[in-house]
Chains A and B, each alone.
Chain A
Amino acid sequence: MQTQQDVTVISATRGWLALDFKNVWTYRELLYFLVWRDVKVRYKQTALGAAWALLQPLAMMIVFSVFFGRLAGVPSDHVAYPLFTYAGLLPWGLFSGGVTRATASLVNSAPMIKKVYFPRITIPLAAVLIGLVDFGVALLLLAPLMLIYQVPLTLNVLWLPLFTLVTLAAAAGVGLWAGALNVQFRDIGYIIPFAVQLWLFITPIAYPITLMSDEWRLIYSLNPMAGAIEGFRWALFASPSFSPALTLVSALVAFLLLITGWIYFRRVERTFADIV
């Protein structure tokens, strides 16, 4: 990766550091291999393999459909409730899984961190990106569901990658903060799974954002996953209630989290090997 002439200068760094895009790019193969390793190991260790990626959102969809859709009669924006909630569970799974894995990732990789140099950020980033595999599998199930409920695809679907990106940014942002803090304070490892559970309910997965009164929606959209999931539904079902402005707020919050998370990560990563 370095040539003969390259000189590495090692000295103490202080304060805030620039984001190391270039370094991460140099180590992109490592990022790929870390994702590849976890995917490979999971599919080797589990009997059901890819089926797990489907079972989780499917089970949630059924429970939500029975209790919220059928029994509580929660509205679902003119789309069949199971399809409506499944479309929310997809990005939510990508987000919650990513945050949970990223939080524990650095502590779990302590032996590696103590023995070899690489940009530490590849570890939580890989932990977030691994979710894309499950997400991709779960996305495939959307096709038969949309056929069953006869919802036609529109050109809006081309926006899907963008909202996926917002979801990833939100997951990485929260994951970087929590992962880095978890190295120093193991309490974070206990808080995050609980926080993610609560977060599920303040995100429009089981219910549409339209349940909120207008003045609350702006505050609500500070939750980056609110806009991401609304965007998802709009991309898939062309939901008429979609508000680009609110989704933009969510997206901005997501990227703000990512940038600040990365900055914080850079500030504390120098101590990881000593304290992890």
Chain B
Amino acid sequence: MTSSTIEVVNLSKRFRIGALQSSSRTLRDMLVDAVKAPFQKRASRVENTIWALKDVSFAVSAGDVVGIIGRNGSGKSTLLKILARVTEPTSGQARLRGRVGSLLEVGTGFHLELTGRENIFLSGVIMGMRREEVKRSFDEIVAFAEMEKFIDTPVKHYSSGMYMRLAFAVAAHLRSDILLVDEVLAVGDIEFQRRCLSKMEAIGQEGRSVIFVSHDMHAIARLCSRALWLNNGQLMADGVVMETIGQYMGLGENSSAQRQWDDPATAPGNAMARLRSVRILNEAGVVSYRHDIRCPITVEFVYDILQPGKRLSPFMFCNAEDGTHLFLSTDWSNEAVNALDPSYVGRRTAWCTIPGNLLAEGRFTLSPGLSVVQENNNVQVYEPDAVSMTVYDPMQGDSTRGVFGGVYPGALRPLLNWRHEDRVEVEQR
């Protein structure tokens, strides 16, 4: 047997479209249906169903933090609900090893009239804890929520932030081997999201499995090592998190981190020069879409010089995901230009290295080109947004963000030198 904590085999779930639209049927509908039924063709009944999930299979090992991504209605929540035993699959099977904690909503079972203290017990028991367990972790929950002063106040008097904090605190202290989390981070302030993320990270490090559904790609990229992409109920991709995200965003690794123009006639350029390939490489020299924020990123340009006489040099623009133009990089120093041989005809490769700890986390696009230097820097070739990559922070404490898990602003994130000095000055009068 494998050591998987979750094994999902051909899991499928069919919904009746009628059942999705109207929440309940009336007796009258039922009677009308019963009268009509014999006159309806069977085929038309089948068409009224949709597969919210179709033949989904995967396995999760202990300690895995797996993200599930996909558009609204792609089956993410249905999958989570099946695993949480809220709803049954139509066919297929899932095996879960160990205790399952589900956090499909923050504050399930909370009652506004009850106090914080009472709700901790109520919510804990509803989520499957024993009263004794809640009692044992009670102080911890209250401390985590920073709720000591208001613990005997009815939660209807809480601010929404306080309510969220308390609700998440209860869920976070649920002792489970498998934790299912649905989009709870969409609510609450930045501080609250930070808490949730770091708590979930800690859970993964404790060797418990986490399945996390979210629309927030940054959260998924930061938390998960692996991601599943669901589309129309089908599993489209299952793999390393950034690859899956890249595929989901319509950017397969091949089409995003490298571009190659096999046909010389259609390659970008003109009679003087043509660009043949651009690749984004990691430290090991391998094409990669996903880059550790601490490591240098190398961009490789391969181009053909078709006519002698000019000094050609590549350049690239770098843009952030939101289109912000971050920088233009060229190699136009006297020394560099003089080193270029103007009589050369043939293929040339150039490498440009973006140092580690410069770009922030996020997605970046590179627009390469070729220009003639020392002649008004005439642009001969320009290919906008040819390649793209993402930068992630593995959160090991030695990057600019350190272990801070919250939103960190800025498109650049240089690791600057800081100096600190303790001056012991005693002011005396």
Contact = CB atoms under 8 A, between A and B. Distances in A.
Contacts of B24: 183-186, 275-276
B126 A274 contact: no
A117 B89 contact: no
A6 B98 contact: yes
A1, A3, A10 — most chain B CB neighbours (10 Å): A10
Interface string B10-30: 000001000100011111101
B181 to A, nearest CB: 12
A12 interface: yes
Size category, A interface: 35 or more
A275 B86 CA distance: 12
B85 A33 contact: no
B109 A10 contact: no
B109 A116 contact: yes
Contacts of B154: 44
Contacts of B97: 4-7
B201 interface: no
A115 B105 contact: yes
Interface stretch (A89-97, A106-114, A144-152, A160-168): A106-114
Interface string A27-68: 001100100110011001100000000000000000000000
Contacts of B113: 40-41, 44-45
A116 B122 contact: no
Contacts of A6: 97-99
A11 interface: yes
A1 B93 contact: no
A185 B23 CA distance: 10
Contacts of A214: none
Contacts of A12: 88-92
Contacts of A199: none
Nearest to B132: A29
A275 B19 contact: yes
A9 interface: yes
A8 B100 contact: yes
B425 to A, nearest CB: 57
B49 interface: no
Contacts of A116: 84, 86, 102, 104-105, 108-109, 126-128
B60 interface: no
B86 to A, nearest CB: 5
Contacts of A184: 24-25
A117 B130 contact: no
Interface string A197-217: 000000000000000000000
Interface of A: 1-13, 29-30, 33, 36-37, 40-41, 44-45, 111-118, 183-187, 270-271, 273-276
Given A11-B94, A112-B109, 16 more contacts: A1-B130, A2-B98, A5-B98, A6-B99, A7-B95, A9-B95, A11-B88, A12-B91, A37-B122, A41-B111, A112-B126, A116-B86, A116-B102, A116-B109, A275-B24, A275-B25
Interface of B: 15, 19, 23-28, 30, 81-100, 102, 104-105, 108-109, 111, 113-114, 118, 121-122, 125-128, 130-131, 154, 177
21 contacts: A1-B99, A1-B128, A3-B99, A6-B99, A7-B95, A7-B96, A8-B85, A8-B96, A10-B89, A10-B95, A11-B91, A12-B91, A13-B88, A33-B122, A33-B131, A37-B111, A37-B122, A40-B114, A116-B109, A116-B126, A187-B28
